[in-house]
């Protein structure tokens, strides 16, 4: 690839990155092309040379994020077909995607709020292969008695998505609501641990809790 073309891709990439951050922080209408261009270090018409319109830029940002997700899915699916202790593996892989950059959660949430008709099908396409695996896993676990019988697989997946999306998007605010010291990028470990615990313990009959008094036969799926 000639250096000139590489440079072009490089600038486009930097535009996408800064646009992602500013769209996530201030919303699509709240982030102006001037601000984005300034963050990149160029002028607005130069930005419009790479992305012919603001809406093109928005779609580019969304596509890049979904592409990143696509890139993460194989790792998640591999975790999903590994061993019997699949839950933690799946959860860890899926959370990594948002831990890498919490702006992804903010951006996605904003897009779902602003343009549900357009964004929902796009997201659905990317989420379904993964959610299908999880649902199958849940149903099989239910047949084997490992997973609670009252779990509604698809609806459960939706709740976990809510949990993660909102958790990463608003953790700073939520931390303050609980009068905790907010951390810079990640939700505090405490909130993240509880997020996982809620997701897990609502799935299996018993969680990894050290049941204080009464001993109970260990069931596959708990730690």
CA–CA distance, 74 with 59 (Å, rounded to integer) = 24
CA–CA distance, 10 with 2 (Å, rounded to integer) = 12
| Nearest distance from C-beta of residue 9 to a second copy, angstroms | 31
Contact residue for DNA among 13, 25, 34, 78 (CB under 7 A): 34
Q: Is 132 in the site for a second copy (CB under 8 A)?
A: no
| Nearest distance from C-beta of residue 16 to DNA, angstroms | 13
Q: Evaluate the CA torsion angle 38, 40, 42, 46 in order and state its sign.
A: negative
Contact residue for DNA among 25, 43, 176, 193 (CB under 7 A): 43
Give me the half-sphere count of Cα atoms (radius 13 Å) on the Cβ side of residue 29.
3
Contact set for a second copy, span 179-208 (CB under 8 A): 179-180, 190-191, 193-195, 197-199, 201-202, 205-208
Are 148 and 203 contacting, i.e. CB atoms less than 8 angstroms apart?
yes
Say which residues have a Cβ less than 8 Å from residue 81's Cβ, sequence separation at least 6.
133
Are 143 and 80 contacting, i.e. CB atoms less than 8 angstroms apart?
no
Site stretch for a second copy (CB under 8 A), options 66-74, 80-88, 89-97, 113-121: 113-121
Contact residue for DNA among 7, 70, 144, 159 (CB under 7 A): 7
CA–CA distance, 100 with 30 (Å, rounded to integer) = 24
| Nearest distance from C-beta of residue 208 to DNA, angstroms | 48
In the chain, how many H helices and how many E strands?
9, 0
Site stretch for a second copy (CB under 8 A), options 2-10, 11-19, 27-35, 36-44: 27-35
Instruction: Please identify, using beta-carbon distances, which residue of 5 and 184 lies nearer to DNA.
Output: 5
Q: List % helix, strand, coil for the chain (3-state, nearest 5).
A: 70, 0, 25
Which residues lie near DNA (CB under 7 A)? 2-5, 7-8, 11, 31-35, 37, 42-46, 48-50, 52-55
Residues that bind a second copy (CB under 8 A): 26-27, 29-30, 106, 109-110, 112-114, 116, 119-121, 123-124, 127-128, 131, 145, 148-152, 154-159, 161-163, 165-167, 169-170, 172-180, 190-191, 193-195, 197-199, 201-202, 205-213
């Amino acid at each position: 690839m000639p250096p000139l073309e590489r440079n072009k891709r490089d600038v486009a990439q930097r535009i996408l990155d800064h646009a992602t951050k500013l769209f996530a922080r201030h919303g699509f209408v709240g982030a102006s092309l001037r601000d984005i261009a300034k963050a990149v270090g160029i002028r607005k018409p130069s930005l419009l040379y790479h992305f012919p319109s603001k809406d093109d830029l928005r779609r580019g940002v969304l596509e890049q994020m979904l592409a990143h997700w696509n890139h993460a899915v194989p790792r998640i699916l591999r975790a999903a077909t590994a061993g019997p202790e699949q839950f933690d593996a799946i959860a860890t892989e899926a959370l990594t995607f948002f831990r890498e950059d919490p702006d992804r959660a903010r951006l996605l949430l904003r897009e779902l709020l602003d343009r549900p008709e357009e964004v929902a099908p796009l997201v659905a396409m990317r989420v379904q292969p993964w959610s299908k695996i999880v649902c199958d896993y849940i149903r099989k676990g239910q047949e084997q008695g490992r997973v609670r019988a009252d779990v509604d697989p698809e609806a459960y997946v939706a709740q976990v998505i809510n949990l993660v999306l909102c958790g990463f998007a608003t953790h700073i605010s939520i931390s303050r609501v609980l009068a905790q010291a907010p951390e810079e990028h990640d939700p505090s470990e405490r909130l993240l641990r509880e997020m996982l615990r809620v997701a897990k313990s609502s799935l299996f009959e018993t969680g990894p809790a050290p049941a204080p008094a009464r001993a109970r036969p260990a069931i596959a799926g708990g730690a």
